[in-house]
Structure 1
Amino acid sequence: MEHYVTLSIFRTIVSYFILMVVTYHLGKQVNAHKNHNNFAISITLGSFIANMGFDTNLKFFPMLAAFLTLVILYFIMSAVSSNSRRFRKWLSGQPTVIIENGKLLDSNMKKVKYTLDHLNLQLREQGIFDIVEVEYALLEVSGNLSVLKKSAYQPVTKKDLNLAQPNQKNSLPVELIMDGVVIDKNLNASYSRQWLGKELDHRGVEIKDIHYAVVGTNGSFFIDLYQDHLKSPVDKE
């Protein structure tokens, strides 16, 4: 009995690290389950790993060989689909138009077994409680609903109000301190250690007191301290 327990633990650990390595190389699309192919490969890989780890009646190395064969097959199909739009459409599927020019396409909804309850649910999730606001709605392969509102219901943008600044550029946030430690790899010519030191001196704080510090997309510098000095913080999750 002890032998089987030890063997199962060992197989589980090995299988887990194999899965981590493989999923790292498969890419982010597989993790997101964005189409039929990625969903199928994720489920199948999970089944293989479960059997490799727990089912001691199955030999480990034949299961590993089958697992790697499936991974190689996925890479081959991905390579072919990247060079063939027709094959890619067959492999990944296509979105289904649910609403066109404000009209419900009943036939398309029946084809994909998509009900009005599902439609209303996904519209509410996007803050749309009145279907009259919708110009186009497409059911993506992932199951998500993409919506284009009618122009009268679209939010006003800075461009509409002539407030857009063509020379203004936004960038990705730059995290400089996390958990009281400076993230050296994110320091650069614009945000050097000297610049960081001056900013902290100006605010009268030290690195060890900082929970999180980041330069925002618009260049603003945000600091969160471990001690927030709130008199009555809300104690709710």
Structure 2
Amino acid sequence: MEHTLIPILRTVVSFMILILVTLAIGKHINSHKNHYSFALSVTIGSFIANMGFDTNLKFKEMLISFLVLILMFYLFMVLSSRSRSFRKWLSGRPTVLIEKGKLLDKNMKKVKFSIDDLNQHLREKEIFNIAEVEYAMLEVNGELSILKKVPFQNAIKKDFNLPISSESLPVELVMDGQIIEKNASGIYSREWIEAEFKRRNLHIEEIYYAVVNSGGYLFVDKYEDKLSSPTDVE
């Protein structure tokens, strides 16, 4: 029984530690925007696996090593946020592959980036003609950033002198038949919500989801969609 209980307890504790670390610095780790965050995510997985399953290793020593690793990452993160030179050394810098429509073959050789690699990344950006590209930069995380030549750039409202209205973030008001109290304030008060539903002959318990979208319009979805043959595909 003891041989079974120990791995279970180690796994539970290791998982809880992982959750706490993820809550603290998870956004920096998950983004994989630089070399050391990627290396840390791989190392954390190895640590947690050994802490949980390898009973030949002492849990206390593993935990101390794990906490030292997290502390080092945090210190590096603070230093990189305060020092640009340190950030460049630690995180690396993007590499220009196309400049003013010209391929920089020396830079491509430095980062071991072939023409096939470049064309694949361009296709993923829905660019099938390399002549459309003015600048292309290979970011530290391996993504390719593109600036198209002016004739090939997408038109925006400003180009047509169209009226531009400001938009705000969507405000979720009802989820799973219950009003989200923290959002039911200001102009979208509980009284306003109830009045809107009453005007539509709806009860809050009938609503699966209701949100005021970025354009200021109320979107409402009921539990009962009344579709004759809804698509049953996850």
Q: Identity of counterpart residues, as a percentage?
A: 56
Aligned: 1:85 with 2:84: yes
Aligned residue pairs: how many?
234
TM value normalised by structure 2: 0.95
Gapped runs of 5+ residues in structure 1? none
Pair 1:232-2:225 in alignment: no
Give 1:27 deviation, angstroms.
4.3
Query: TM-score w.r.t. structure 1 length?
Result: 0.94
Which letter does structure 1 place at the counterpart of 2:59?
Answer: F
Equivalent position of 1:49 in the other structure: 48
Cα-to-partner distance string for 1:41-100 (whole Å, 9 max, x where unaligned)? 111111111110010000000000000111111111122222211001111111111111
Between the aligned partners of 1:29 and 1:73, the Cα distance in structure 2 is 14
Alignment of 1:36 onto 2:35? yes
In the other structure, the counterpart of 1:65 is 64
Aligned to 1:6: 5
Runs (5+) with no aligned partner, structure 2: none
- CA distance, structure 2, for counterparts of residue 41 and residue 205 of structure 1: 51
Aligned to 1:202: 199
Report the residue type matching 1:113 in the other structure. K
How far the C-alpha of 1:149 sits from its partner, in A, is 0.9
Q: Deviations over 1:180-199 (max 9, x none)?
A: 11111111111000110111
Residue equivalent to 2:16: 17
Across the aligned residues of Structure 1 and Structure 2, the Cα RMSD in angstroms comes to 1.3
Partner residue, 1:95:
94
Task: Report the equivalent of 1:173.
Answer: 170
SS at match of 1:160: helix
Residue 129 of structure 1 aligns with which residue?
Answer: 128
1:102-157 C-alpha deviation (Å, 9 max, x unpaired): 11211111111122222222222222122121111111111111111111111111
Amino acid at match of 1:86: S
Q: Distance in 2 between matches of 1:201 and 1:53?
A: 54
Which amino acid counterpart does residue 159 of structure 2 have in structure 1?
D
Within a 5 Å distance, the mapping from 1:113-192 to structure 2 comes to: 113-165=112-164, 168-192=165-189
